Structure 1
């Protein structure tokens, strides 16, 4: 079965997994305090650096939030359900996430489409990579999860790729 056989809902869940990975990495990076980060009195040697790091985490959290909404939509959730979960009406939920859903649906799905998009950076690069190679991208996330396993039991060897749903295509019975 080819990579492009993954359902849109599975691709959206993979995109959400990536955004969660990015968010976790950024948040995790903010935990250590470097030996030369602070003056002896505890003040920052680089004023604004901590706030800039927090802003990166916040932007990553917003991307994760949008990816979660897109994942829910492609999984069949109505705007009403999304609004109910967020404590807003369906119209507000749609206004907040419809562009993200539309952008996801228009993302390239094959290596040929990806190469036509030109140079990509950051999350755009990963989205293009995942569009052309979803199984490989999922396996990269498998490796990340297993490297960062903190006592989680029962993840198995494929904690991301093992759960991705593929399209169900009708195959004619032999001899038909």
Structure 2
């Protein structure tokens, strides 16, 4: 939440928060995948074999896990934006029931994060997701910086490529 000029508190919509979580997961996925592009000077033996067997596969598994988190975050964003299970299923070419079975737990976990009296889930990932859902402006500003550091000629992004697009709820008086 941020303070408005008149002493009112403005917060982001739940859909905007879900989109922010998806943006964060995309950032994490991009960083993990990009690490595979350079070939380290000491990564290969002279015969072209790996100096650390299993390391690349373990790193690739982390990329797949990050892609899975991004995929789930995208489904949650669609649901928070009003898409029903039929729409999700149609996009994925599965039944509405299959889509619901696949993503309902991720949606429920996100909705729990939005609860003001909910304690963060155990583990670093749970605390991070709770932080993203509860402190969206801080996360959005960090992602603004990330996008601007990584822009590839996209000069029309402006100075707030993430935070500028988040939708806020109307002003509310503090309790």
Decide: shared fold, TM above 0.5.
yes
* C-alpha RMSD of matched pairs (Å): 2.1
Cα 1:119–1:87 change in 2 (3 A) is: closer
Contact 2:21 2:133 in 1 (8 A): no
Matched residue of 1:154: which SS?
A: helix
Question: Which residue of the other structure, out of 48, 63, 67, is the alignment partner of 1:42?
Answer: 48
Match of 1:104 in 2: 110
When the two structures are aligned, how many residues end up with a matched partner? 167
Question: Is 1:51 the counterpart of 2:57 in the alignment?
Answer: yes
**Gap regions ≥5 residues in structure 2:** 3-8
User: 1:99 & 1:148 partners in 2: Cα distance?
Assistant: 33
Contact 2:13 2:168 in 1 (8 A): yes
Match of 2:145 in 1: 143
User: 1:109 & 1:149 partners in 2: Cα distance?
Assistant: 35
Cα 1:118–1:89 change in 2 (3 A) is: closer
Match of 1:8 in 2: 14
**TM-score between the two structures when normalised by the length of structure 2:** 0.87
User: 2:144 & 2:155 partners in 1: Cα distance?
Assistant: 14
Question: Is 1:117 the counterpart of 2:120 in the alignment?
Answer: yes
User: 2:172 & 2:130 partners in 1: Cα distance?
Assistant: 28
Match of 2:71 in 1: 65
**Gap regions ≥5 residues in structure 1:** 172-176
Contact 1:109 1:132 in 2 (8 A): no
- Of 123-132 and 101-110, deviating more is 123-132
Matched residue of 2:44: which SS?
A: coil
Contact 2:10 2:170 in 1 (8 A): no
Q: Deviations over 1:16-40 (max 9, x none)?
A: 0000000000000111111111000
**1:124 shift after superposition:** 2.9
Cα 1:48–1:94 change in 2 (3 A) is: same
**1:51 shift after superposition:** 0.6
Match of 1:164 in 2: 166
Contact 1:20 1:64 in 2 (8 A): yes
Cα 1:109–1:155 change in 2 (3 A) is: farther
Matched residue of 2:154: which SS?
A: coil
**1:43 shift after superposition:** 0.4
User: 1:67 & 1:98 partners in 2: Cα distance?
Assistant: 11
